[in-house]
Amino acid sequence: MRILIYSLNFAPELTGTGKYSGEMARWLANKGHEIRVVTAPPYYPQWQIQNGYKGFSYSKELLAGKNSRMMKVWRCPLWVPQNPGGVKRLLHLASFSATSAPVALAHAGWKPDLIFAVEPTLMAAPWALLTAKISGAKSWLHIQDFEVDAAFNLGLLRLERVKKLGFAAERRLMQGFDRVSSISENMLERLKEKGVKPGKSVFFPNWVDTRGIYPLKRKSMFQDQLRIAEDAVVALYAGNMGEKQGLELLVEAASQLQDDPGIQFVFAGSGNARPRIEKMTENLPNVSWLPLQPEDRLNELLNLADIHLLPQRADAADLVMPSKLTGMLASGKAIVACADPYTQIGKVVGGCGIVVPPGNGDALANAIKTMAGDRYRRQNLGAKSRAYAERFLDYDVIMANIHEEMLRI
253-287 pLDDT per residue, tens: 999 999 999 999 999 998 888 999 999 999 999 99
Residues in the chain: 409
Distance separating alpha carbons of residues 74 and 407, to the nearest angstrom:
25
**pTM value surpassing 0.95:** no
Find out whether 3 and 114 touch, Cβ atoms under 8 Å: yes
Using one digit for the tens of pLDDT, what is the confidence trace for 56-69?
Answer: 999 999 987 655 57
Helices 361-372, 248-256: crossing angle, 10 deg rounding: 60
Which burial class, exposed, middle or buried, applies to 21 when counting CB atoms under 10 A from its CB (0-12, 13-18, 19+)? Answer: buried
From residue 142, how far is each of 89, 322, 359, 390 by CA, in Å? 20, 15, 29, 23
3-state helix, strand, coil in the chain (%, to 5): 45, 20, 35
pLDDT at 192: 93
**DSSP 8-state secondary structure symbol assigned to residue 218:** S
pLDDT at 312: 78
Distance separating alpha carbons of residues 19 and 209, to the nearest angstrom:
12
pLDDT at 90: 85
User: In the sheet that 263-270 helps form, which strands lie side by side, from edge to edge?
Assistant: 287-290, 263-270, 233-240, 307-310, 334-338, 353-356
Using one digit for the tens of pLDDT, what is the confidence trace for 96-105?
Answer: 999 999 999 9
- Alpha-helix residue ranges (DSSP H) falling in 238-310: 248-256, 274-280, 298-302
